[in-house]
Amino acid sequence: MRALLLALLVVAAAGPACVTTQQVDPDRSPDPRDDLPELAAPAPSPAELKRAQLAAEHPLATVVALSDAEPQAELRVVLSTGSADDPAGKEGIAGLLARLLGHGTEKLTAAELAETLTRMSATLDVRADKDAIALTGRVPREHAAAYAELLLDVLLHPRLTAEELDRCKDEQRAQLREPPRDGPESSMSRATLEALIYGGATFVPGAFKEGARHGYAHATAGTPAGIDAVTIEDVRGLHERALVRDRLVLGVAGSAPTALVARLTSALEALPFSDGERAPPAPPAQPDDNVLVVVETPTAGATIAVGFALADLARAHADYPALAVAMAWLSEHRAPVDHVLDAAHTRRGVGLGECDAQGPPPTGQIACLAPGLPRRSWHFSSWVGPVERKSRLFMLRQTLDELDRFVRDGIPDDESFARAQAAVQASGQRALAGATRADVNAAIKRHLRADRLSLVVVTDDGSAFAADVAANKRAPPVYLAPKVDKARRGEDARIDAVDLRIAADHVVVVKPDALVGR
């Protein structure tokens, strides 16, 4: 009986089987062979038993949200491998695999793949992030079945040739050096901040004494040396390791036929399993005090970014909804509630362009429609800028002071808390807006801090600015507003006396070109 049950389990794991029946003639003469003992079914092999066990323990992860009201179907496949898994010396290999997945299949060249997508009025986006490679496609319902086959061909049979790899390498090297689309200073400050949080020892070795270099320390596109070192055999090996059933998520949404879901599920369930659990990321090294990287580049003003790693935080964490509301209150970019922007610009009249604070990325949407990609390590970051050059030192102090008060006092009143909740709901994250103000303030104290910070300032004349910071030089704000009341000036005098707590050996000045190879 046990062998039969195991055999049935193997069949169930392998998929639906074809069952036949045979009609017996009651007037048929007895056949001597009828008395022969039935042959026992062959026992499952160890490999079959192992696969059946793994299939039971690791069912294919799927997220399905079908709706005939939608004009298109959306398909997403997320592979649980990303740039954080790049081997040392091969930084950029995950990004190269993602590019190659979009460069054709064994049957279709890159041009033919693009032509096929155009005929279907469909799109295909393949991108790598820190912890995942995601393939996302959109297609009208009438072409959904054919598109599913195309997506499987792209995923299972990509054109992994040396010639295509060389083309992708050229594209990826160019990406490392291309100007950011949303403003060079703001993007540079945030990218440098992330590199500082996860790989601070490469910037300020004496300030980071514990922990290993984190996989997030290098850019998703890698480094020039890492890209050069990757071979086509490396990429083929990564493709084989990444394409495993237990480290993959399938998402189907919109106007897709149910048969399409069954087809994709069946094909992906046939994939092999990984060799074991994915190792958790090592915690990044923490600075022993505030550290500052000044990126010296020609610019009219300055952009300031501050942040730190968040330990043990994920979307499933009980404090995640509370922190989402906290981030909306602190500074939600271009949202109706923006505390940092209000404090700097409206109430003081200090010259300021944009503000942003990023805690946990947006969520609450269907997984396969979410704008972001899954990450296993999280960090808090806030950036301010561009600010006028003459106000940069005061704004650095104000940024630190606002963070200190935020950690200490949380959200101070119900009115602004309600606006933050409304901002979260308006962004499609209704499930995250249920936390109370007490919940939010308690979560802030548990997870956020105002010391041992990583700071980045992008500005010109970086050496002079770094010297002013190390000397804790005072610099009162320069007001643009015609009148600033006496109470505000008194408050600003207090902020101007805030100790920056950044020692001379915890400040470094770098040029933008030096960031490319890190």
pLDDT in tens, 82-108: 999 999 999 999 999 999 999 999 999
Whether 455 contacts 305, CB under 8 Å: yes
Residue whose pair of structure tokens reads 């990609």 in the numeric block: 373
Mean pLDDT, residues 73-77 taken together: 95
pLDDT at 40: 61
Residue 482 pLDDT greater than 70, yes or no: no
Mean pLDDT, residues 292-315 taken together: 87
pLDDT at 389: 87
pLDDT at 335: 43
Q: Which residue has the higher pLDDT, 44 or 442?
A: 442
Residue 153 pLDDT greater than 70, yes or no: yes
Of 36-40, 90-94, 354-358, least confident by mean pLDDT is: 354-358
Q: How confident is the model at residue 145 (pLDDT cuts 50, 70, 90)?
A: very high
Task: Judge residue 39's burial from the number of C-beta atoms within 10 Å of its C-beta, 0-12 exposed, 13-18 middle, 19 or more buried.
Answer: exposed
Task: Judge residue 502's burial from the number of C-beta atoms within 10 Å of its C-beta, 0-12 exposed, 13-18 middle, 19 or more buried.
Answer: buried
Which ranges of 377-482 would DSSP assign to H, the alpha helix? 392-409, 414-426, 437-447, 462-470
Q: Which residue has the higher pLDDT, 218 or 41?
A: 218
Residue 511 pLDDT greater than 80, yes or no: yes
Mean pLDDT, residues 419-435 taken together: 77
pLDDT at 19: 31
Task: Report the interhelical angle of 437-447 vs 392-409 (nearest 10°).
Answer: 120
Q: Which residue has the higher pLDDT, 267 or 321?
A: 267
Residue 480 pLDDT greater than 80, yes or no: no
Share of the chain above pLDDT 90, in %: 48
Q: Which of 18, 251, 223 is nearest to 132 (CA)?
A: 251
pLDDT at 10: 31
Q: How confident is the model at residue 38 (pLDDT cuts 50, 70, 90)?
A: low
Mean pLDDT, residues 427-456 taken together: 87
Q: Which residue has the higher pLDDT, 479 or 411?
A: 411
Spatial separation of the C-alpha atoms in residues 200 and 203, rounded to whole Å: 5
Task: Judge residue 90's burial from the number of C-beta atoms within 10 Å of its C-beta, 0-12 exposed, 13-18 middle, 19 or more buried.
Answer: buried
Residue 500 pLDDT greater than 90, yes or no: yes
pLDDT at 400: 93
Residue 15 pLDDT greater than 50, yes or no: no
Share of the chain above pLDDT 70, in %: 76
pLDDT at 485: 76
pLDDT at 51: 59
Residue 16 pLDDT greater than 60, yes or no: no
Counting Cα atoms < 13 Å in the Cβ hemisphere of 333 gives 15
pLDDT at 5: 27
Spatial separation of the C-alpha atoms in residues 395 and 209, rounded to whole Å: 29
Average pLDDT, the chain: 81
pLDDT at 41: 64
The one-letter amino acid code at 181 reads R
Structure tokens at 282: 């090592």
Angle, CA of 497, 417 and 433, to the nearest 5°: 130
What SS3 state is found at 305?
Answer: strand
Of 263-272, 317-326, 345-354, 461-470, least confident by mean pLDDT is: 345-354
Residue 171 pLDDT greater than 70, yes or no: yes
pLDDT tens-digit series, residues 200-245: 888 988 898 766 678 999 999 999 999 999 999 999 999 999 999 9
Residue 426 pLDDT greater than 90, yes or no: no
pLDDT at 388: 85
pLDDT at 284: 87
Between the ranges 22-31, 303-312, 483-492, where is the mean pLDDT highest? 303-312
Structure tokens at 220: 């998703």
pLDDT at 370: 34
pLDDT at 502: 95
